Structure 1
Amino acid sequence: MRGLIWTVVHLVAIATFASLAAGRIAKADDAIPDVASAAFASHCFSPFMTAARADEVLASTGARVDFYDLDPLSDVAPSQVTGRAATLGTDRRCEVAFDGDHAELAASAAVAGLEMEGIRTEAPLPDRYQPVDSTVLLAARQLNPRRIAVVHVGTRPGPNGVETFLFVERLMPLEPLE
């Protein structure tokens, strides 16, 4: 009888711990939109972001990340395009995506990131960028006299249903230096 009681106690303890662990995982997943959006805002607009740094500060949030920089502004080597294909006419992309519809939160974070980096001057949106039905933010900003960046935030089909995406792409220089 004693053995049966201990077995039941152990099974109840295991079930309790498993339940608590599942709750922590669910809570951690619930935080991904906030944490990933904040990480995007804090890091994706920085001209010194690198692929290694993207792994460290973006992928660690639990979000899906797509980053490349073919013409870095620091002495790091250009990164390879590993996620989606490189967008024609761009030399840098920083994207995070995560499950669920959190586009309003993500758009607020993207605008805050632009403000933090002092990127305020509007630029004409290139024709190749078109809003989709779920677009919450699509805008071009002047980075300097020769470069613009395009920010796009919205939702789309993802691997687990609807996903929220935020990306910024830096376009190739408008004209060569003389």
Structure 2
Amino acid sequence: MSLTKTYRSGTYPLALILSLSLADLAHARSTHTFANLGMQSFATHCFSPFLTRQKAVDVFGVTGFAYDFYDLDPFSSAAPSPAEGRKVTVGTDRRCEISFDGTHGLQAADVAIAALKSEGLDTHADVPAHFIRTADTTLLAARRLNPRRVAVVHVGTRVGENGIETFMSVERLLPEQVEG
């Protein structure tokens, strides 16, 4: 029995083909595992009113996820965390966003919805007009945090540094942006 196989335009040792196939499978699994870790990190940390800049660095900075965080008016006694990444979104005072490689929008949206439910954030609110749903948006929803505050959750895919990436974001509206 020969341990070679014709593959595309040549003959290669079967061991090489199997090792390449296993490497591809391992990469796919590691990318999927990394995405799952990102989704769970978002769900666990981004809805917490006690997340600070330092905690965001400690949690997201060591994982390899791209992230963006600011909290200009913390609910806790923590010092404000200025925006260091993208500009502050008009009408918000807090953002927690992570992104990771790959197209995982549907699964990420499911995780975000489950996180909203587990936090007891199930009272719907209107999404302000300046939050734009794009063709690559999987979830754009607003939920009341309390009578004066609303969180807007945005999940989808976009072009990132390494190709398509999935992003998960939650932003807190300023009280004057919340409709009665």
Give the TM-score range, shorter chain: 0.7 to 0.9
Structure 1 distance, partners of 2:160, 2:78, is 32
Instruction: Return the match for 1:147 from 146, 149, 152.
Output: 149
Name the SS for the 1:60 alignment partner. Answer: coil
2:48: which partner in 1?
Answer: 46
Instruction: Spell out, residue by residue over 1:26-51, the C-alpha distance to the aligned partner (whole angstroms, 9 max, x if none).
Output: 46544221001001001111111111
Structure 2 distance, partners of 1:123, 1:69, is 21
1:95 aligned onto 2:100: no
TM-score, normalization by structure 2: 0.80
1:56: which partner in 2?
Answer: 58
1:108: which partner in 2?
Answer: 110
Name the amino acid aligned to 2:123: T
Name the SS for the 2:154 alignment partner. Answer: strand
Structure 1 distance, partners of 2:61, 2:91, is 25
Match runs of 1:1-178 below 5 Å: 26=27, 28-174=30-176
Structure 2 distance, partners of 1:65, 1:31, is 18
Name which of structure 1's ranges 120-129 and 108-117 shifts more when overlaid on structure 2.
108-117
Structure showing the higher helix proportion among its residues: 1
Structure 2 distance, partners of 1:135, 1:144, is 26
Contact 2:50 2:75 in 1 (8 A): yes
Structure 2 distance, partners of 1:61, 1:117, is 24
Superposition deviation, residue 174 in structure 1: 2.6
Structure 2 distance, partners of 1:74, 1:35, is 26
TM-score, normalization by structure 1: 0.80
Name which of structure 1's ranges 27-36 and 164-173 shifts more when overlaid on structure 2.
27-36
Name which of structure 1's ranges 166-175 and 96-105 shifts more when overlaid on structure 2.
166-175
Contact 1:66 1:83 in 2 (8 A): yes
Structure 1 distance, partners of 2:84, 2:33, is 26
Contact 1:151 1:166 in 2 (8 A): yes
Name which of structure 1's ranges 95-104 and 53-62 shifts more when overlaid on structure 2.
53-62
Contact 1:41 1:110 in 2 (8 A): yes
Structure 1 distance, partners of 2:47, 2:125, is 16
Structure 2 distance, partners of 1:128, 1:113, is 24
Structure 1 distance, partners of 2:57, 2:173, is 22
- Give the alignment's Cα RMSD to 1 decimal: 1.9
